[in-house]
């Protein structure tokens, strides 16, 4: 590794280099004023003598980056190993933390009633675990009663099984018998050439003794082993109770200690992460607990009226198993369904039980849960599935219960720690690609239909001009950037341009949303286009209607944007014409021959700025009395500097969105209609060129 100073021409400090793991090392101490040429001529290993300062800096950056990635992999492996081997300690601790999240609001309520911190915590913990124990004892008793009643339904179970058997003459049984006969024929030993079978020859030979079959039978578990397993569960339960009690009593102290681990510099980030994780996990656990209690109560009540024995047992079991994502509801419904099949005559009651579980689960999973806490978890469905597999593999069944809260915490950490942002991208539910990026990416992949679907989905809630400004303009800017940087080949660039032009024509021919959304959302484009929301009028040849000419500055992307502007102006009732792409002088001459009232130059920065400046200068020379609107679409830089750079006159206007262009043209048309002597009012957003030089 070579340490280089900030100055490109000087080196200082200690320089150490190793050549392919050679046993010797070269160490140098150089003065700051020593030139790079002198250094390279000194006794440095030959590998580095031909390298410039930039190459050495790049090599060091690449090495540091690779080491950082390797360190990240090592840290991930260590974390996963710690989670696995320390699960005996981490599982009770995690359970206590989650229970603390649920019980903290109740403890705070009792504290506000002046019960005191210690007494309030004691009441909450004791009552909570007594309730859990009472419900568990009742459920156990009901389970024993149901199991004792099963022998009474033996005849009914036998009849159901016989009714499920297929008749002897069915096609499936015939096919099964045929396959069995063929298998026996194939297994029979082949006949000898003399006609004697192999069985007669075996009878002549002394019979060999067959090997005795051996079966491994597992010895029954000793009573001591059962006692040890029960004592282990009780010990874990007691540890969770004790940890929950102390966490509730010392919750502020634990929070402050956790924040202090990040240090003073990360105080804000750590505070935001803890508050975000606490709010998300607490709300999720509360709402999930409430939903599961109501779910279990509803299922138990319905099973009671259907007549299934042990309705309380099945209601509690279904509510508890719903904490297991994906597999919990089916596991909770299969036992009551089998019991209904066993005890009821006919199939009406079992079908009612099946319909109860299916309809209830569909309604709760697809409507109630997304409405209540779907947005608070911040994780996608695929992430929940992967998290369930990961945590189950590490912590067993209890990991399946804890997978969602733990994944929520991981996503929150990725949201607030920049170096772990990939966790939010992989596990989060927020869209990672904006509409303009998705549209451009689908065109890069050659998928025109999905690209158009992105635009149509956007049009369901937004007007057409907002689609042009927020999606198509940024997408065309991305295409132009990649094309000029040689990242986009010619065929792909032509495919993107031609399909964008076709899609724009199709969207304009079949408008989907001309008006602003009904929810009253005040988007930026709608605000700017407010003057253009007047009643639409058809273009006419009346002299009071200004004639507008749109002129592309440089290439096909500028022409596409000019076409979009003409569409919006035509929809607003103006006579707009787009000059076909050609040489700048030819386009300016054609625009001058049209005798327009307003000329709009369409240019996508940054590569079309010089052509836009040239077109603007020529238009001012040919049409000195014509209003000129310079559209530098989607420009992100300093507008005042851009006005000075292009040299825009004070009576001309610079706009950066299509909505601003329509708004400015509508304002000028309104001022001309009122009176020629009334000065034109400035538009709400377009940038006037007052700082520009006048010719």
Convert the pLDDT of each residue in 41-70 to its tens digit.
444 444 445 555 655 566 666 677 778 778
Name the band, by pLDDT with cuts 50, 70 and 90, for residue 675: very low
pLDDT on residue 674: 58
DSSP 470: I
DSSP state of 373: I
Q: How far apart are CA 42 and CA 27, in angstroms?
A: 12
Please compute the mean of the pLDDT values over residues 209-228 and round it to a whole number: 62
CATH for 433-515? 1.10.1240
pLDDT band at 693; cut points 50, 70, 90: very low
Q: Which CATH code fits 536-695?
A: 3.40.50.280
Dig out the tokens for 600 from the structure. 């709009």
pTM of the predicted structure, to 2 decimals: 0.63
pLDDT at position 677 over 80: no
pLDDT at 564: 92
Contact 643, 650 (CB under 8 A): no
Domain parsing of the chain, residue ranges: 13-84, 86-156+229-249, 274-377, 378-428, 433-515, 536-695
Q: What is the pLDDT of residue 678?
A: 47
The residue length of the chain stands at 695
Q: Say if residue 298's pLDDT is above 90.
A: yes
Q: Which two tokens stand for residue 645?
A: 């750079």
**CA-wise closest residue to 239 among 341, 97, 375, 115:** 97
Residue 33 three-state SS: coil
SS3 27: strand
pLDDT band for position 499 (cuts 50, 70, 90)? very high
pLDDT given for residue 524 in this prediction: 35
How far apart, in whole angstroms, are the C-alpha atoms of residue 591 and residue 576? 12
Q: What is the pLDDT of residue 252?
A: 86
Segment 460-475 shows an average pLDDT of 90
Which residues contact residue 669 at a Cβ distance below 8 angstroms, ignoring those fewer than 6 apart? 545, 546, 574
* Tens digits of residue pLDDT in 329-348: 888 888 888 888 888 887 88
Residue 37 banded pLDDT, cuts 50, 70, 90: very low
Give the pairing of strands 598-603 and 547-552: parallel
User: Confidence band (pLDDT; 50, 70, 90) for 154?
Assistant: confident
């Amino acid at each position: 590794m070579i340490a280089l100073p900030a100055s490109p021409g000087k080196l200082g400090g200690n320089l150490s280099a190793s050549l392919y793991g050679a046993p010797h090392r070269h160490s140098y101490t150089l003065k700051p004023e020593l030139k790079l040429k002198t250094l390279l001529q000194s006794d440095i290993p030959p590998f580095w003598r031909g390298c410039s300062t930039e190459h050495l800096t790049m090599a060091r950056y690449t090495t540091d980056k690779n080491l950082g990635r390797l360190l990240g992999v090592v840290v991930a492996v260590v974390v996963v190993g710690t989670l696995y081997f320390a699960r005996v300690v981490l599982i009770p601790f995690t359970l206590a933390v989650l229970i603390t999240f649920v019980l903290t609001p109740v403890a705070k309520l009792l504290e506000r009633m002046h019960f005191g911190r210690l007494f309030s915590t004691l009441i909450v913990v004791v009552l909570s675990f007594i309730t859990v124990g009472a419900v568990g004892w009742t459920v156990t008793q009901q389970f024993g009663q149901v199991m004792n009643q099963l022998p009474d339904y033996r005849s009914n179970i036998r009849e159901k099984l016989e009714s499920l058997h297929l008749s002897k003459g069915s096609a499936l049984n015939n096919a099964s018998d045929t396959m069995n006969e063929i298998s026996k024929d194939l297994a029979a030993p082949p006949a000898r050439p003399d006609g004697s079978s192999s069985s007669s020859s075996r009878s002549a030979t002394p019979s060999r003794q067959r090997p005795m079959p051996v079966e491994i039978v597992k010895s029954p578990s000793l009573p001591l082993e059962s006692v040890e397993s029960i004592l282990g569960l009780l010990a874990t339960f007691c540890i969770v109770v004790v940890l929950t009690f102390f966490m509730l009593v010392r919750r502020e102290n634990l929070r402050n200690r956790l924040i202090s681990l990040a240090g003073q510099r990360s105080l804000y980030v750590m505070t935001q992460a803890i508050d975000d994780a606490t709010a998300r996990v607490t709300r999720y656990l509360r709402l999930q607990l409430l939903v599961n209690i109501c779910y279990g109560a509803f299922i138990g009540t319905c099973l009671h009226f259907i007549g299934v024995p042990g309705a309380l047992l099945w209601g509690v079991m279904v509510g508890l198993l719903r904490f297991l994502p994906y597999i919990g509801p089916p596991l909770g419904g299969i036992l009551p369904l089998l019991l209904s099949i066993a005890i009821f005559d006919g199939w009406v009651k079992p079908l009612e039980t099946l319909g109860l579980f299916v309809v209830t689960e569909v309604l709760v999973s697809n409507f109630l849960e997304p409405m209540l806490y779907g947005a608070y978890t911040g994780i996608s469905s695929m992430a929940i599935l992967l998290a369930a597999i990961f945590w189950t593999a590490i912590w067993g069944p209890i990991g399946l219960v804890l997978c969602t809260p733990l994944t929520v915490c991981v996503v929150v950490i990725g949201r607030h720690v920049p170096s772990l942002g990939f966790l939010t991208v992989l596990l989060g539910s927020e869209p990672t690609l904006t509409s303009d990026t998705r549209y451009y990416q689908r065109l890069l992949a050659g998928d025109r239909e999905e690209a158009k679907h992105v635009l149509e989905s956007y049009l369901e809630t937004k007007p057409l001009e907002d689609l042009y400004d927020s999606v198509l303009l940024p997408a065309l800017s991305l295409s132009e950037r990649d094309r000029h940087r040689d990242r986009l080949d010619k065929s792909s660039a032509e495919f993107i341009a031609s399909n964008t032009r076709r899609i724009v024509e199709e969207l304009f021919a079949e408008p989907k949303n001309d008006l602003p959304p009904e929810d009253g959302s005040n988007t930026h484009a709608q605000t700017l286009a407010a003057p253009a929301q007047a009643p639409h009028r058809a273009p006419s040849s009346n002299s009071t209607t200004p004639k507008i000419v749109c002129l592309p500055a440089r290439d096909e992307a500028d022409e596409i944007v000019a076409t979009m502007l003409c569409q919006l102006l035509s929809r607003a009732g103006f006579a707009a014409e787009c000059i076909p792409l050609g040489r700048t002088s030819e386009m300016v001459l054609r625009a001058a021959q049209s005798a327009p009232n307003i000329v709009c130059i369409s240019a996508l920065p940054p590569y079309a700025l010089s052509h836009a400046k040239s077109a603007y200068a020529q238009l001012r020379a040919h049409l000195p009395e014509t209003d000129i609107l310079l559209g530098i679409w989607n420009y992100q830089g300093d507008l005042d500097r851009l006005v000075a750079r292009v040299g825009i006159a004070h009576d001309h206007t610079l706009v950066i969105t299509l909505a601003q262009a329509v708004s400015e043209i509508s304002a000028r048309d309104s001022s001309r209609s009122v009176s020629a002597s009334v000065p034109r009012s400035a538009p709400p957003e377009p940038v006037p060129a007052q700082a520009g030089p006048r010719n």
